[in-house]
Chains A and B, each alone.
Chain A
Amino acid sequence: MINPIEVKNIYKNYSDKNAVNGINFSVSDNEIVGLLGPNGCGKTTTIAIMLGLLRASSGQVFIKGKDIEKNRIELLHKMNFISPYIELPKKLTVKENLIVYARLYNVNKLSDRIDYLVETLNLKNFINQKTGELSSGQKNRVSLAKSLINTPSILLLDEPTASLDPDTGDFVRSFLEKYIKENTVSILLASHNMNEVKRLCSNVLMMKNGKIIDEGTPNQLLKKHGQDNLEEVFLKLSRNEK
């Protein structure tokens, strides 16, 4: 059976550094895989290659069995992405942003989809407010709504709860748990929040210097490295592993 996400032997070399060095992994249906690693280890580069924003030096990414390089536009219809480092137009209201992205993704029954997301993500109170005027937590929920506008079957999340207060962070995590139960979706989650990874991910990839240096379920990693929590595993691997 083909996994919805198959990353095969990806390399990305720049003139001055090798950002990704031969990465392999897959994500199956209704699975959340965590991507952990220190800053600059190649997480964002990997995600950018998977989204077709960046061309790999070699290797292939298959989404639903199709090569992203050869079927970029077709596959982007099935994918979406959220990151605290990219924003929605600040001068547009929440509703206008959702309308724009619903059109860009050719969403059928646009109003119904927007109503569903507004209801599910509690956007009602600020739906007509400009996006730039919202708090971080509210903006995060709007970005999450944008990332779900096309009902993606592949969702790439780059630090989706970074800089959120514990309550909003918990809201997002609970939402993702509920969402994956109700929809057929494969999620790759890059995060620095070890509790989040332990709670959500069935498999964890530990990255360093563009390589996957270890992987397994959160419990397997804890057992293997004799640690009590993932943060200690992370510190051990990022400090010791050559």
Chain B
Amino acid sequence: MKNSLNRMYGLYLRHFFLIRNSFPRVMDLIYWPTIQITLWGFISKFFSMYSDYYNNTVGVILTCAILYDFLFRSSISFNMLFLEEIYSRNFTNLFIAPMKISEIITSLILTAFLRTMIGLVPAIILTTPLFGISILNLGIPLFFLFLSLYIFGMTLGLFVSSGLLRFGPAFENIAWSTMFLLAPLGCIYYPIEILPDILQTVAKGLPLVHIFEEARHILVEGTVDYKNILNAFYLNFIYFFLGVLLFYYSFNQARKKGSLINVGE
């Protein structure tokens, strides 16, 4: 157990050193969430003034934007940790180190959290002085919503990293586009009823819908419906389990096809 923690800490350090050594890298992590949330802050303000649905519920869109950005950043963070190894041609070194796949996954999940929070915390802090809104208004359920989003972010990261393992850097574009593909079905900024019937059925199979429906429910109605939160968790665990299985499968396929050798730019 101690040895396992030591190895995972080693992989964490690899990325911690990378971030610590580069001020532009830290700025890049902070820049995009701040821009995104500031933009949605103004849009939110406009809607709250002119929309019946959002009347007197200042911050619904902004809160959802923050939650979505948390998901986006966590997923991208996981992918970036993997891509960094490819960019630096360190991929082979990583896979000849005596690390179990479970240790690599665990370490990347924990390191991605650090990366996500570096980007998002300053942006969240800014919302109060700029727009008079605090995401903490969601109360204790906020923790469950964040946790649920983080699990889904990691799941997407696992799916994309599996592709990178199997197909190499050519899969990179998919890494960037996954979140945009799911966003329309996630019902982030609008209720699920907006979607056509057939897409509603598909959307209900994603944890995102339940998470964002609940966030809006808490902010608009002022009550918590734990059924939504539980549904999101059930779905999350299924997808996460599938993501882990796919990662193991891709690793085995990569060993068979030879795609772990000399992976580089």
Among B7, B10, B18, which residue has its beta carbon within 8 angstroms of that of A91? B18
Among B10, B95, B255, B260, which residue has its beta carbon within 8 angstroms of that of A100? B10
Q: Given contacts A53-B255, A55-B256, A130-B21, are A105 and B98 in contact (CB under 8 A)?
A: yes
CB-CB under 8 A from A83, the residues of chain B are 92
The answer to whether A104 and B97 touch across the interface, beta carbons within 8 angstroms, is: yes
Interface positions of B from 250 to 265, Cβ below 8 Å from A: 252, 255-258, 260-262, 264
Q: Given contacts A14-B258, A52-B255, A53-B261, are A89 and B18 in contact (CB under 8 A)?
A: yes
The answer to whether B21 and A103 touch across the interface, beta carbons within 8 angstroms, is: no
CB-CB under 8 A from A89, the residues of chain B are 14, 18, 84, 88, 90
Among A54, A81, A85, A146, which residue has its beta carbon within 8 angstroms of that of B258? A54
Residue of B nearest to A44 (CB): B261
Cβ proximity bits B194-223 to A, threshold 8 Å, 1 near / 0 not? 000000000000000000000000000000
Among B17, B21, B97, which residue has its beta carbon within 8 angstroms of that of A105? B97
Within the assembled complex, what's the spacing in Å between the Cα atoms of A101 and B84? Answer: 16
Among A53, A77, A93, which residue has its beta carbon within 8 angstroms of that of B92? A53
Distance in angstroms from B264 CB to nearest chain A CB is 8
CB-CB under 8 A from A74, the residues of chain B are 98
Within the assembled complex, what's the spacing in Å between the Cα atoms of A96 and B13? Answer: 8
Within the assembled complex, what's the spacing in Å between the Cα atoms of A87 and B102? Answer: 24
The answer to whether A86 and B93 touch across the interface, beta carbons within 8 angstroms, is: yes
Cβ proximity bits A62-95 to B, threshold 8 Å, 1 near / 0 not? 0000000000011011011101011111111100
Within the assembled complex, what's the spacing in Å between the Cα atoms of A80 and B97? Answer: 8
Within the assembled complex, what's the spacing in Å between the Cα atoms of A81 and B260? Answer: 14
Q: Given contacts A91-B21, A92-B17, A106-B6, are A51 and B96 in contact (CB under 8 A)?
A: yes
CB-CB under 8 A from B260, the residues of chain A are 48, 53-54
A45 interface contact, C-beta 8 A = yes
Among A54, A90, A92, which residue has its beta carbon within 8 angstroms of that of B14? A92
- Chain B binding surface, main DSSP class: helix
Chain A: residues with Cβ within 8 Å of the partner, total of: 37
How many A-B residue pairs have C-beta atoms within 8 angstroms? Tell me.
Answer: 105
Distance in angstroms from B20 CB to nearest chain A CB is 9
Residue of A nearest to B3 (CB): A106
Within the assembled complex, what's the spacing in Å between the Cα atoms of A77 and B261? Answer: 19
Cβ proximity bits B1-18 to A, threshold 8 Å, 1 near / 0 not? 001001101110110011
Distance in angstroms from A75 CB to nearest chain B CB is 8
Distance in angstroms from B29 CB to nearest chain A CB is 14
Residue of B nearest to A80 (CB): B96
Residue of A nearest to B14 (CB): A100
CB-CB under 8 A from A100, the residues of chain B are 10-11, 13-14, 17
Residue of A nearest to B11 (CB): A104
Distance in angstroms from B144 CB to nearest chain A CB is 33
CB-CB under 8 A from B21, the residues of chain A are 91-93, 96, 130
Q: Given contacts A14-B258, A54-B255, A54-B261, are A92 and B18 in contact (CB under 8 A)?
A: yes
CB-CB under 8 A from A99, the residues of chain B are 10, 13
Q: Given contacts A96-B17, A103-B13, A130-B21, are A86 and B89 in contact (CB under 8 A)?
A: yes
Among B18, B88, B100, B258, which residue has its beta carbon within 8 angstroms of that of A48? B258
B99 interface contact, C-beta 8 A = yes
Residue of B nearest to A149 (CB): B97
Interface positions of B from 61 to 103, Cβ below 8 Å from A: 84, 88-100
The 3 A-B pairs with the shortest beta carbon distances in the complex, nearest first, are A103-B10, A76-B98, A104-B97
Given contacts A54-B261, A91-B88, 9 further A-B contacts (CB under 8 A): A14-B257, A44-B261, A53-B260, A73-B100, A83-B92, A85-B89, A100-B17, A101-B97, A104-B10
